[in-house]
Amino acid sequence: MMAQRLYEAGYITYMRTDSLTLSDRAMAEAGEVITANFGKDYYDGPRHYKSKSKAAQEAHEAIRPTHLSRTPETIAPYLSKEDLALYRLIWNRTMASQMADAVLLKTAVDFQVSTSQGDAILRANGSVVSFPGHLAVADSAQKDNVLPAIQEGQGVGPGEAIELKQLEPIRRETKPPGRYTEASLVKRLEEEGIGRPSTYAPTISVVQNRGYVDKRGNALVPTFLGISVTRLLRNHFSEYVDLQFTARMEDALDSIAEGEQNSNQFLSAFYHGKGNFGPGLDSKIEGELPNIPFSTIEVGDDPDSGEPVIVRLGKTAPFFQRGEGGPGNTASVPMALTYDELSLDGALKAIEARAKGDQVIGTDPESGKEVFVLEGPYGPYVQLGKVEIPEAEPGKKAKKPKKPRRASLPPDMTAEQVTLEWALKHLSLPRTLGKHPETG
């Protein structure tokens, strides 16, 4: 939306493109602005770039300021803080692409250290920017790291050992790959040649809106629904979720857009079979449908009963099931639990907690209703009475079940710690204490 605003205001060129091409006029203007603002040493252009992606949209120029002489400082009074930050990024990158290379002086010093375990080589790296070049505008983290004056052979002679001022052992462990974020997912789509710049945002929105992933912070975390759908497609329709299939589809759609292929014939071949699509989607579904089981995720076997423990997809949320299910053999999957954290021990504990929680802990003396401690997808909670299902009147729509009063337990409290007295106090909230003495 920020890019759209900048485009509509005439500050940048069309932004739905991944082209790397600048017009001759833009490159000429870049040379003038660079020379005027930084000096002639900073310009050795014009510089031309080519995309490695054959799917790149080259119909438009690269995203750039419409007038490079319009620096971020000159238009700052007319833009919001966020829009200015985006414009500054675009201006800096465009200018950097046409500026001279930076020149860095790099030094490496090796220290040979003798220990009781043998000799070791320690290395210190230093670098100094002797000419900034494009780093003058690029958002680079390059910093000078100056080494002290030192000579080859220093510390070799007797009594000349280099003094060790500080030693800090650091333990490093291999970390698992980070989860996809929206940015890293777009980067992967670009690498695989899937989609176009205009389709990236809708693609990410669709997988979130359909509940295939949850966004936690910046990470896109796959849900149990997403895992189930992915496994179904991989096991029964693998050719349609293959990256090469997607790339071929992109090529076919491009040929349709360019008038080289008839769209109706293409769709007919895709659904009914012909050409590069094998038997066709229609017959593929008809043949695979009987082989597709109800979507479940296996967790393991209960060591006591030998019954399988699985995750099933409910109407509103996934749940654990042991054996054939039924009372005492099911439990909601905690909302915070992700697929990679799934374990047999955790599933059995949730089932046992649910079975215990369904037991009545007492009766409310005022209403005469039973008080329960239950386990839900958001954790344990107390409940006053059971769900009441009103009787349907003849010829009228059935009324919705009346939910009983419920209250979640505090984070530091377990279901085993709940007493009837505490539960009744907790269920009485919120309650009116009186009127404010000043405001009434």
- Cα–Cα distance, 333 to 344 (Å, whole number): 12
Number of neighbouring beta carbons within 10 Å of residue 301 = 13
DSSP string computed for 59-83 = SSPPS-BS-TTS-HHHHGGGS-HHH
Q: How far is CA 188 from CA 81, 126, 191, 192, 196, in A?
A: 30, 34, 5, 6, 12
CA dist., res. 126 & res. 131, Å (int): 16
Which tokens in the block code for residue 181?
A: 């974020």
Give, for 180, the enclosing helix (H) or strand (E): none
Residues 45 and 31 sit within 8 Å (Cβ to Cβ): yes
8 A C-beta contact, residue 13 and residue 20: no
Nearest to 119 by CA among 127, 130, 111: 111
| Nearest Cα residue to 378 out of 416, 418, 346, 336 | 336
Start-to-end Cα distance in the chain: 47
Q: What is d(CA 335, CA 211) in angstroms, rounded to the nearest whole number?
A: 13
Number of H helices, E strands in the chain: 12, 12
CB 200 within 8 A of CB 194: no
Q: Before 72, cis peptide (omega within 30)?
A: no
Which of 7, 14, 240, 271 is catalytic? The answer is 14
| Dihedral angle sign, alpha carbons of residues 336, 342, 345, 351 | positive
Largest Cα–Cα separation, the chain: 106
Whether 14 sits among the annotated catalytic residues: the reply is: yes
Tell me which residues are annotated as active site: 14
